[in-house]
Amino acid sequence: MDSFDQKINKLIQGSAKAISRVIVFNPFKKGLLSRASLRTRADKNLVYSLAPTTIPRREQLKHLAKLLDPREKMVLKISLLLLVVSFSFLGYRFYSNNLILFPRVGGTYSEGVVGYPQTINPLYASSRDVDADLARLIYSSLFSYDASGRLSPDLASGWIIEDGGKAYTVTLREGVKWQNGELLTVNDILFTFDLIKNPEFRSPLRASLNGAEIEKVDERSVKFILAEPYADFLSLLTFGIMPQNAWEMILPEAAALTELNLKPVGSGLYKFESLIKSKGGSIKEYHLIVNPDYYGTKPYIEKLIIKFYPDYIELVRALNANEVDGASYVPDDLKKDLIAKHSLSIHNLHLPQVNAIFFNQSKNKALADLKVRQALSYAINRERMIEQVLGGAAVVANGPILAEDYVAVPESNIYNFDSAKAEQLLEEAGYKRLDITTDILMATEKSAEAAAAIAQASSTAIEAIGYWRVGATSKQPLVVKLSVPENGRLDVAESIKNDWEAVGVKVVIDKVSASAVNSEMVATHNFEAFLYGQVVGFEPDIASFWHSSQVGGQGLNLSSYNNSAVDALLTEARQAADNVALRLEKYTKIQETITADIPAVFLYSPDYTYVQAKRVRGFSGTAVSEPYDRFAGIADWYLKTKKRIAW
């Protein structure tokens, strides 16, 4: 019996012979089919007739190329290509729309700062930014500011305000450990408070806690007792808590010299690992690792390296050279030096600081005239200064309290730029216009006004030729010496000089060394006008800057402002702990009075520019109460990621 293959062969041979004897007409090609075409069609018909199904099997698909003509092959190739492209595009869209990156633990973050650490402990850290940065990472506090600048509980698990705001009972969270493994207790809080209050330790924090006492309530609670109500008292409890077991044997005279200042033991997110010194003995790097016993959310970044630089120029150079992943601060005038900005995240964080020109009316009698101070205020174009000098990294300050606080300055008391109004006020104050020309300068005989102006110019390096204002009675020119820290905003000082001289008030810029700022400017008020920034905090309490009790000594009332009505309002506002409406009323009156008296010209509230490489993710800060608060959300930062498809 013939096999299946033999039957097929006979059938094919018979079909071929039959076809060769038949002439077939093809109406599409308008001609006769060739013998080869007929054989191909016969082969197809034969295959179709023998296939058990119309769907080809894999063995059949191997012979597909033999059955297709060139045009069909081209169509098939294009179709397959389009199919592959379509599926690839759909796959990419699905992947990109459904891929989720999750933070993953790991990595080392390095940040550059200006300065070198000396005393990394809460007693003294507040006076130096570098020490405060490290203390913020290593120590915990009862309260701290979050990434949005809001006061939040840290070691505190709860609190109660009693006795009309004169008593605050704070409860400690349970299970907190020091980085040496021992438990943190209320005794450590009592111990730290007593160290700060002890005058022998000379802590800068002592003044802020004057009038406050502390007592133990139970094993988890302490009570702070105030001499008088203070609505913002909790904001003072942001100092780091120190371990009694590590510090109780250290004498006051040795507190600034102990090794614990550089190798501290705290209860914060990170703990000391090591430090690297240069050949000269200065610290080059400070290494921190995650605290495994931390009570809160564990950070993703396992290790921090803080690198120290002598100035901001070197810090920016290090950032550009990829020596660090972040820069603690970049001054406005150095932003232009940042290269590869596309690879950097520039965070402009609001800083609760008011920059102003503080007047010392006793040093320059002209400044004792309210109209002169008003004229000087109207003459300054603050909006232009912010845009052209500060690069937009600031907001206008209309008074001693931050613009975003719940207290607003009435529009009528805001001294907006108006040079014509400034000139009018100077005329009313008795200062007449005097234009000194070359002819007047070279003349043998000069008026008393011109002679005084030219003499002033020769003694102070002021350009003699130009527009002056001189007293109609005194015949003396109106000249103001504007003091500014040499490491401060000299460009802002130049902008003020240009604005004042545009209305005839001559300006001598006095650059003050950093060491003399506190000893001469703040302590002794040895200035006529002082361009300075005061960190007022996010709370509206400004008593330390404007109450008359803060005049002189280490007080911060730089203008020696003394107004009994304001003193009373400041005291009443501080004591209205549980009455927001009353505080609003008091602070509004305070603003109205101070801006009307003009003891200072309020200029702007600056941004704090913090820069990180874009590989650092998770930063969400918007404001900082102090520069070290940029680390407020560091537990959410991450360098490494893991991927997951969301279906």
CATH numbers and ranges of domains, the chain: 1-67 (no CATH), 108-325+628-637 (3.40.190.10), 353-607 (3.10.105.10)
What's the pLDDT at 61?
67
| C-beta separation of 339 from 146 below 8 A | no
- The mean predicted confidence, pLDDT, of the chain is 87
Beta strands in 522-599 (DSSP E): 529-535
What's the pLDDT at 17?
47
Q: 229: pLDDT confidence band, cut at 50, 70 and 90?
A: confident
| Amino acid at site 219 | E
Instruction: Please choose, from the candidates 589, 498, 493, 573, the residue with its C-alpha nearest in 3D space to the C-alpha of residue 533.
Output: 493
- What's the mean pLDDT in 546-551? 91
What's the pLDDT at 87?
83
Q: Tell me the C-alpha distance between 457 and 351, whole Å.
A: 39
Is pLDDT of 259 > 60? yes
User: For residue 522, what are the contacts with CB-CB under 8 A and spacing of at least 6?
Assistant: 554, 556, 558
What separation in angstroms does the CA of 76 have from each of 58, 86, 87, 97, 459?
Answer: 17, 15, 16, 31, 94
What's the pLDDT at 133?
96
What's the pLDDT at 72?
77
What's the pLDDT at 27?
42
Is pLDDT of 326 > 90? yes
What's the pLDDT at 565?
96
H/E stretch holding 482 reads strand 479-485
Helix (H, G, I), strand (E, B) or coil at 144: strand
Query: What is the rounded radius of gyration, in angstroms, for the C-alpha atoms of the chain?
Result: 39
What separation in angstroms does the CA of 316 have from each of 269, 332, 333, 335, 626?
Answer: 27, 12, 11, 9, 21
